[in-house]
Amino acid sequence: MPSPVQSAHEIMVPFFDAESAGALVHVNWQQNLSQRKADYYALTADNITTGEQVPFFIAAEYYKSSMKANPNHIANVGELVAGEGYKLKVDDRLQYGQKNAQGELRFVVYHDKERKPYQHRFIETAVGSATAGKAAEMAKAFGVGAAGDQIMGQLKCFVGDYLHTF
């Protein structure tokens, strides 16, 4: 089992490229008795500290090139590494979801922390909305096989649990 990303680790988030930015996922949830939704990019980031990869969700407004004026944009909070992307230290700006207390299937989320979606909203949306070529890659990132019942079995591990802050 890969070691889960931890606070103080450094991760490399790739540059935004509309063609290879990863799957744009639409996350829906209910908060304060109203329906909410937001767009995220589902990426694979490199954990520089461990040499492993980690599923990484970033709010579209923090990633798209056209949004660089946003003070929370990855270009404004990460360290630019030429030819690579943005190096980002894992701290309380980031949140995470995981399968269990041991950190299995941990993924990282960078967004407005006022948003309160359950962890499973990211998993089910990312796996379910991935294009045919990306579906297997996304399912593999979360440790699930190709069968729908396996995906649903994994999702049950996340139901009802909010994201955690590093």
pLDDT band at 132 (very low <50, low <70, confident <90, very high): very low
Give the predicted TM-score (pTM) of the model.
0.80
Output the 3-class SS for the chain: CCCCCCCCCEEEEECCCCCCCCEEEEEEEEECCEEEEEEEEEEEEEECCCCEEEEEEEEHHHCCHHHCCCCCCHHHHCEEECCCEEEEECCCCCEEECCCCCCCCCEEEECCCCCCCEHHHHHHHHHHHCCHHHHHHHHHHCCCCCCHHHHHHHHCCCCCCECEEC
By percentage, how much of the chain surpasses pLDDT 70? 75
Per-residue pLDDT of 86-126, as tens digits, reads 999 999 999 999 888 888 889 999 999 999 998 888 876 65
Asked whether the predicted pLDDT for residue 153 surpasses 60, the reply is no
Put residue 123 in one of left, alpha, beta given phi > 0 → left and psi -120 to 50 → alpha: alpha
Give the per-residue pLDDT at 100.
85
pLDDT band at 27 (very low <50, low <70, confident <90, very high): very high
Give the per-residue pLDDT at 138.
55
Instruction: Please provide the average confidence, as pLDDT, over all residues in the chain.
Output: 83
